[in-house]
Amino acid sequence: MEYCNTSVRAIQPQAYDAFVGMDVDKRSIIGLQIDHLGVEKRLQMPNDAAIMIGHLKRHLPGKRVALVYEAGPTGFGLADELLQAGYDCMVVNPACVPTARGKKVKTNRLDAQQLAMQLRGGDLKGILVPNPKYRHLRELVTLRKMFMNESAKCKQRIKALFLRYGFPWPSSNASGTWSNALIQQLQAYECAPVLKYKLDSLINQMLFARIQAFYAQKEMRRFVAADPDLADSVRYAMSVPGIGWIVATYAIARLGDWQQLRTSPQTSSFFGLAQSENSTGDTIKRGSITKAGDPVLRSLLIQASWTAIRHDSELASCYQRIKDRRAKDKGACIAIVAVARKLATRLHCVLQERRLYHARAVAPV
C-alpha cells in the first residue's frame, strides 16, 4: 500500500456530511456515526480497515465523511488505509480529548460517541501521523534505548548486590566507568556459590544488553545512511552545537517529517519545554515547563545543552545570565532548561530550512 502523506490535524465540520468516532482495540472497532441532524448509528466490526471502508462505501456513498480515533497500541495502520481510500481520518492524543468532570461511566461505546460528537463540533485536534520510515526509525531508537536501560539496570543490581553483602568495590574503578578491566575483576570475584551465580548472571545479562545496543545502533546508522533525506536531516541537526548523532537521530525519529514542522514555539512545546501558564484577568502566573511529550527526548536535549554551553559562547552567556538572576539552588536547572529550549528552536530551523547551523560571532562583554 502506498503511504498517503497527509495528516488530518483539524477539520471544518460544515465541510462534512457525517462523522464517525471509533474506539479501536486489537480485535474490534466500536464506532458511532452521527450527522448534523443528530441521527446516530452504532457500529461494531472486526479491526479491519477494509471492512470499515466497505461499510462507508455501502452506507454513505457520495457522502463527505470524517473519522477519528485515539492513538494507542494498534498504531496508525487504520488511519493510513482510510486516508488512502479518500476518507479524512484524524488521530488524536487521548490526553487532549476533552472529558467532562465527574464522569464515572466509561465504555467503548461512550468513548466512540464522545469522539464523534466532539469531531462534529470541531473540538478535536489531530496529531502528526509519521510516515513509515520515521516509524521504523522510532522502532530502532527505542530498541537501542531499551537495551541501554537494561544494561544500566544490571549495573545497578550488581552494585546493590555488593552493597547488600558489604563486598568491597574494586579499587581500580576510581573513575566510576564500567571498563573491560572492571568487568574482568567482577567476573573473577570470589564469593559464596549462590551469590557468584547471581553475579555472573547479571554480568552476562549486562554484556548481552550492551552488545544488542551496539547492533541496534549499527542498524540505525545503516537505515539513516540508506535514505538521503534522513541522512541530510541528521547532518543538519548535528551541526547545532551540543547535538551528537544519537540525540539528532532520536529527535528526528520523534519529530517526523520535516516538511510538516510548523513554528519553533510548537517544536519547543512538542519537546515539553514550553512554559506552563495559569493566568486570569490582570493576574499572570507562569510556572515550570509543561513536560509534555517524550521524556527521554527531553532528557537527551537537556544533556546536550550541558555540552552546548561549553562550545557555544552565545548559549554560555544565556545560561550564565539566567542562572545569575535565579536563586542559587534552582538557577542552574532553570538556566539549562532555557538553553535546551534554544536548542530545540535551532533544531527546528536547520531542519525546516535544510541548512547547516553556523554560530554567530558574539561580541565580548
Residue 2 — very low, low, confident or very high, per pLDDT cuts 50/70/90?
Answer: low
**What residue type is 331 in one-letter code?**
G
Cβ contact 58:45 at 8 Å = no
Give CA–CA dist 20/32, Å, rounded: 6
276: which 3 cell numbers?
Answer: 506552563
Give the strand order in the sheet containing 88-92.
40-46, 28-35, 18-24, 65-70, 88-92
Average pLDDT over residues 45-65: 96
Angle between helices 77-84 and 49-59 (to 10 degrees): 40
Domain ranges of the chain: 13-120, 132-226, 229-353
Q: pLDDT at position 174, please?
A: 61
Percent of the chain with pLDDT over 70: 96
What is the C-alpha separation between 201 and 198, in angstroms, rounded? Answer: 5
Q: Which residue from 63, 86, 85 is spatially nearest to 16, judged by alpha carbons? A: 63
The percentage of the chain sitting over the pLDDT mark of 90, rounded to a whole number, equals 76
**How many other CB atoms are found less than 10 A from the CB of residue 136?**
13
pLDDT at 175 over 80: no
272-296 per-position pLDDT tens digit: 998 888 887 777 788 889 888 889 9
Cα 85 to Cα 1: distance, rounded to the nearest angstrom:
11
Q: What integer pLDDT is reported at residue 260 of this predicted model?
A: 84
What's the pLDDT tens digit per position in 202-255? Answer: 999 999 999 999 999 999 999 999 999 999 999 999 999 999 999 999 999 999
Least Cα distance to 135 among 296, 257, 272, 285 occurs for: 257
Question: Contact at 8 Å (CB) between 97 and 70?
Answer: yes
SS3 string, the chain, reads: CCCCCCCCCCCCHHHCCEEEEEEECCCEEEEEEEECCCCEEEEEEECCHHHHHHHHHHHCCCCCEEEEEECCCCCCHHHHHHHHCCCEEEEECHHHCCCCCCCCCCCHHHHHHHHHHHHHCCCCCECCCCCHHHHHHHHHHHHHHHHHHHHHHHHHHHHHHHHHCCCCCCCCCCCCCCCHHHHHHHHCCCCCHHHHHHHHHHHHHHHHHHHHHHHHHHHHHHHHHCCHHHHHHHHHHHCCCCCCHHHHHHHHHHHCCHHHCCCHHHHHHHCCCCEEECCECCECCEEEECCCCCHHHHHHHHHHHHHHHHHCHHHHHHHHHHHHHCCCCCHHHHHHHHHHHHHHHHHHHHHHHCCCCCCCCCCCC
The answer to whether 19 and 34 have CB atoms below 8 angstroms apart is yes
Model confidence over 86-107: pLDDT tens digits? 999 999 999 889 888 887 888 9
Q: Are strands 286-289 and 275-277 parallel, antiparallel or unpaired?
A: antiparallel
**In the prediction, which pLDDT does 105 show?**
86
Residue range 13-120 in CATH 3.30.420.40: yes
Cα–Cα dist 18/67, whole Å:
9
* CA separation for the pair 297, 141 (Å, rounded): 11
pLDDT by residue (tens digit) across 151-173? 999 999 999 999 999 999 987 66
Q: How far is CA 246 from CA 64, 141, 222, 237, in A?
A: 44, 9, 13, 11
Please tell me the distance from the alpha carbon of residue 278 to that of residue 345, in angstroms, as a whole number.
24
Q: One-letter amino acid identity for 154?
A: C
